[in-house]
Chain A
């Protein structure tokens, strides 16, 4: 279970660095006390995950991930945070018993995940791997998955109209 026979190719080094970045970002997001710092470390994790997608040769998903999660969602989060005041930020009181228990829980979870991943048996690739997978995504979306795709569009439009309606209603009482 513990024989990690890895070859130091460029790909492995990139994978190692990106995973470390993703984990560091996630850990920092939990540890920071200022909300803007937290939002930024989440963005850092998102970028590292996009890097992992690139390694898996899923460039389209990788860049859409950066475009939406980093470019739009994180900026909106920071925007919202900046618009509001945060005077009550600061260190929370430490609770030793709770922290010990959660540390034990985390170690158990790690053990289970590690055991599961090392023992997992990945079957051979089912779908043929195509070089131009961006085109493949488009083809699938507009043929086999056309109805779910349209449903998602309708859902987004409903959310959009709802957001406009909510924003409009606040103006009326003047």
Chain B
């Protein structure tokens, strides 16, 4: 898309920008609809129950019905809430989550923006969503929301550090922050993908990523049994839907990032399988990661706040630093 940048802005090129953004939005909303459906189905299956099965064939229209319900719901704003910020917060949460999707290279050709700092872009923008969550908690003027917002800020700041540090090993092995180059450096057999040489970094990345997503076992900002619903207690209707959408778009983004950074992106596991299009490999690995996230949610109990913070600063951070040292030694010894 770079060549559109230098030309005079005409209605045609502006149209292309808008159309591709709408295309991505449509695809992501489709993903979110069925991610929620499969999440409920998988968790039902793991907990020995049916999951949604009434609306449409096999319950396939359940998420559509849920979204329709949310859109028609009465939109309530608490009387003592900070009205402006209460309205702004869902938008502020959603916009960065969507902007994050611009940098993901699905295949060698299919990418919207080729940034040479790809990974930092994700981390930087997800920080803006944290602000939105804190603001949502504060603007609601409700003690549970405020507690949820506080926990969210503390958790996001703490886990961002090991998340960034765990990727440093990958960046050192590639010599670039560009996501496309990281994938190209992993071409070959599947043991050349980063998840084996960087196994420590991979594990840290996964744990920190689940925490950044605010999902069980790290879902303290919205712990139902303690905080009612955390930062979005007071939200209803489409504003609540925006928070849900944001959360699932980040699931999408993290699954894409894990695929790119550690699982070889669009590369097939063995070069002989080259005839299968790269985008299929990408989405296959992507689905495995998404499934993994659902699996964790169905099987782990929630941590306590102090355990959560201790985990980030006393376990993950030293391990991430150790990983950087080991990678440096490895590069020095093996060239």
Q: Which residues on B sit within 8 Å (CB–CB) of A40?
A: 85, 131, 135
Q: Which residues on B sit within 8 Å (CB–CB) of A7?
A: 8
Q: Provided the pairs A9-B8, A59-B115, A75-B127 are in contact, do residues A36 and B85 lie with their beta carbons within 8 angstroms? A: yes
- Tell me, yes or no, whether B5 is within 8 Å of chain A by CB: yes
- Tell me, yes or no, whether A134 is within 8 Å of chain B by CB: yes
CB distance from B274 to the nearest CB of A (A): 29
Chain B residue with minimal CB distance to A78?
B134
Q: Which residues on A sit within 8 Å (CB–CB) of B128?
A: 43, 47, 66, 70-71
Task: Report the bound CA distance from A76 to B127 in whole Å.
Answer: 12
Task: Report the bound CA distance from A64 to B149 in whole Å.
Answer: 24
- Whether B138 lies near A78 (C-beta < 8 A) is yes
- Whether A67 lies near B85 (C-beta < 8 A) is no
Task: Report the bound CA distance from A50 to B116 in whole Å.
Answer: 15
- Whether B135 lies near A36 (C-beta < 8 A) is yes
Determine chain A's interface SS by DSSP, over half rule.
helix
- Tell me, yes or no, whether A132 is within 8 Å of chain B by CB: yes
Q: Which residues on A sit within 8 Å (CB–CB) of B125?
A: 66
Q: Which residues on B sit within 8 Å (CB–CB) of A134?
A: 116-117, 177
Chain A residue with minimal CB distance to B125?
A66
Q: Which of B131-190 contact A (CB under 8 A)?
A: 131, 134-135, 138, 146, 149-150, 153, 156-157, 160, 175-177
- Whether B117 lies near A71 (C-beta < 8 A) is no
- Whether A71 lies near B130 (C-beta < 8 A) is yes
- Whether B127 lies near A66 (C-beta < 8 A) is yes
- Tell me, yes or no, whether B280 is within 8 Å of chain A by CB: no
Q: Which residues on B sit within 8 Å (CB–CB) of A74?
A: 131
Q: Which of A118-174 contact B (CB under 8 A)?
A: 132-135
Q: Which of B82-127 contact A (CB under 8 A)?
A: 82, 84-85, 115-117, 120-121, 123-127
- Tell me, yes or no, whether B54 is within 8 Å of chain A by CB: no
Chain A residue with minimal CB distance to B121?
A63
Q: Which residues on B sit within 8 Å (CB–CB) of A70?
A: 124, 127-128, 131
Q: Which residues on B sit within 8 Å (CB–CB) of A60?
A: 116-117, 120
- Whether B134 lies near A79 (C-beta < 8 A) is yes
Task: Report the bound CA distance from A74 to B176 in whole Å.
Answer: 29
Q: Which of A60-114 contact B (CB under 8 A)?
A: 60, 63-64, 66-67, 70-72, 74-76, 78-79, 82
Chain A residue with minimal CB distance to B160?
A71
Chain B residue with minimal CB distance to A58?
B117
User: Interface size bucket, B side?
Assistant: 35 or more
Q: Which of A24-74 contact B (CB under 8 A)?
A: 34, 36-37, 40, 43, 47, 50, 59-60, 63-64, 66-67, 70-72, 74
- Whether B131 lies near A78 (C-beta < 8 A) is yes
- Whether A79 lies near B116 (C-beta < 8 A) is no
- Whether A10 lies near B7 (C-beta < 8 A) is yes
CB distance from B140 to the nearest CB of A (A): 12
Task: Report the bound CA distance from A6 to B151 in whole Å.
Answer: 48
Q: Which of B230-247 contact A (CB under 8 A)?
A: none
Task: Report the bound CA distance from A78 to B85 in whole Å.
Answer: 13
CB distance from B313 to the nearest CB of A (A): 12
Q: Which residues on B sit within 8 Å (CB–CB) of A50?
A: 124
- Whether A132 lies near B116 (C-beta < 8 A) is yes
Q: Which of A1-17 contact B (CB under 8 A)?
A: 7-11, 13
Beyond A9-B7, A9-B9, A134-B177, 13 extra complex contacts between A and B, CB < 8 Å = A37-B84, A59-B117, A63-B123, A71-B124, A71-B126, A74-B131, A75-B130, A75-B134, A75-B156, A78-B153, A79-B150, A82-B146, A133-B116
Shortest Cβ-Cβ A-B pairs, 6 listed: A71-B127, A66-B124, A63-B120, A63-B124, A67-B124, A59-B117
Cβ contacts A to B, 9 pairs, < 8 Å: A8-B9, A40-B135, A63-B124, A66-B125, A67-B127, A71-B123, A72-B157, A78-B138, A82-B150
